[in-house]
Chains A and B, each alone.
Chain A
Amino acid sequence: MTTLSQEAARAETRPADAGPATPPVLSVRDVHIHDRASDREIVHGVSFDLTPGRTVGIVGESGSGKTLTCRATLGILPPHFEVSAGTIEIDGTDTATLTGRQWTELRGSTISAVFQDPSSYLNPSLRVGAQIAEVLRVKTGLKRREARLRALELLRAVHLRDPELVYGQYTFELSGGMLQRVLIAAAIAAGPRILIADEATTALDVTVQAEILDLLADLRESTGLALVVVSHDLAVVAQLCDEVLVMRQGEVVEHGPTRTVLDTPRHPYTRLLVDEHESYGLDRFLAPKEEAA
């Protein structure tokens, strides 16, 4: 097991131990998001709690409001959007009270994110290793040489086979899966407690997607990272998440433990998503196996 940071060492509790007594690291309560440009409410009341080591999944198509919700929790809503009602608390602090500087402090060290198209989040003119090192130097104040060493450790932690080589490469030399790993490394560099993965695997081949999802599960187990996984694919969420929110046109149409939602969907939209997999996907062929612990 790799120890990624001081904070991670603290949160060595395995997911099973994170019972109801543990305070949530992220708490979203009845959040409404309003678009000032078109004067419409886009997200109508999203609520969930995230405790360390657990994973919440948000499923929805484009237009469902899932990305806006993520951006709200990170404090990066587009200019004409605002949280019009409800509260978002990160580690107990109401984010509405945060100044710009406090937000900057929070991002990376408490809450972090990876998004869909990895190559657009890295500078193509710089080597990728240097970009991770930059995060380390800014957030944790490490000197140049130490930052490089930590960056290599991080690259190893995200299961890159030859960290030394990758450190010196440019984005165009790396595949989509490798780039996403680099971004995950950068995202966890400062030891955040929450990681949001917004369609992080959508642009990747299915085998690579599985690798990234397995990596996230691994990180969750080794560091107690709390995950929010957002996808349009119910199965991606099924693979990784303890509880699921299904969003449609800004509303949460279903919310509950993953197994319950998948086995006994109540809302017709959820049922549509489940049926699609069961009629056209692999589920038809494969016999359900016993879930591993």
Chain B
Amino acid sequence: MVRRVLSLTSGRIAVAVLAVIALLAILGPWLAPHDPLATSDDTLAAACGPHWLGTDHLGRDVLSRLLDGSRISVLGSLEVAGVALAVGAIPGILSVYLGRVFEWFTLRLTDTLVALPFLLFAVAVIALLGNGITQAMLVTGTLVSPLFYRVARAATLTVARSPYVEAALISGASLGWIVRRHVWAKVLPPIAVALAQTIGVGFVIVSSLTFLGIGVQPPEPTWGGLLASDLGYLDYRPWGPLAPAALIMATVWACNLLADAIRDVSGEAGRALLNGRKARAHRLGTPDTAPTGGA
């Protein structure tokens, strides 16, 4: 799968950008030239020697804040995606095999989650569990999980009813074998697409939450938080929001690009795409697998 995605230009670009973001997340706090929390009198400065991106309204170095905040921002959205995957995808696959009751229950649960107003629910849970980034991510992940549930379930249903799974059954395969060998490979691509999308969405959500003061408390920097505070001082630093916005945009864009690339190499269209490339590479004609309409 990874190889196939990397064979596409879009895949390579997406992975490259995301690799840079990941590096930022890992190394960011160490790369920060100044203490991100240190205030100074040099407020709302433009880009200059000691402060490459200037300072914010409290005199804090913007670059340092950006770098420091990248870890939380990235980790936060990964957490959202991870929770959504666990809470959504696994029940999704199991709902096909564990019987009517389980299926009904998980379906109704998913419907309920879709119907819940996101912000109200988040605030309510935070009120119960206390304010913190982990709680915020858990809530968000759960609320986004219906997508994974539906995607995993739909993919599993398609596979479960197919002749090749019946053939495996007839040959004496156990349920575990069938899931491992046949179902998993078919479920993975749509889930990977959903995952890539959710990471992007997770970013926006983390940013929104921080904007509202839920999850991460100031003065902890996050990209969304920076965006929010910068917006308040547009008169003085009109270019202020550019840096955090650019980072957020780049990440979300790369995630969506990756999702597209995964989708392009998966399934029917994906196999055709790769077959065509293989054929051109080897200068062989691919055999006609389906009679053309005009024949």
Contacts and interface: CB of A to CB of B under 8 A. Distances in A.
B131 to A, nearest CB: 53
Contact of A64 (B288, B292, B293, B295): B295
Interface centre among B288, B291, B292, B294 (most CB of A within 10 A): B294
The main secondary structure of chain B at its interface with chain A is loop
A42 B292 CA distance: 12
B44 to A, nearest CB: 63
Interface residues of A, number: 12
B291 A81 contact: no
Contacts of B294: 35, 42, 67-68, 71, 77-78, 81
Contact of A65 (B288, B293, B295): B295
Interface in B280-295: 288, 291-295
A63 interface: yes
A42 B291 CA distance: 14
Contacts of B291: 62-63
Interface in A39-70: 42, 62-65, 67-68
Interface in A59-110: 62-65, 67-68, 71, 77-78, 81
Contacts of A42: 294
Contacts of A67: 293-295
Contacts of B288: 63
Nearest to B291: A62
Contacts of A68: 294-295
What 6 A-B pairs have minimum CB-CB distances, sorted nearest first? A62-B291, A63-B295, A62-B295, A68-B294, A78-B294, A81-B294
Given A62-B295, A67-B293, 4 more contacts: A63-B291, A63-B292, A64-B295, A67-B294
17 contacts: A35-B294, A42-B294, A62-B291, A63-B291, A63-B292, A63-B295, A64-B295, A65-B295, A67-B293, A67-B294, A67-B295, A68-B294, A68-B295, A71-B294, A77-B294, A78-B293, A81-B294
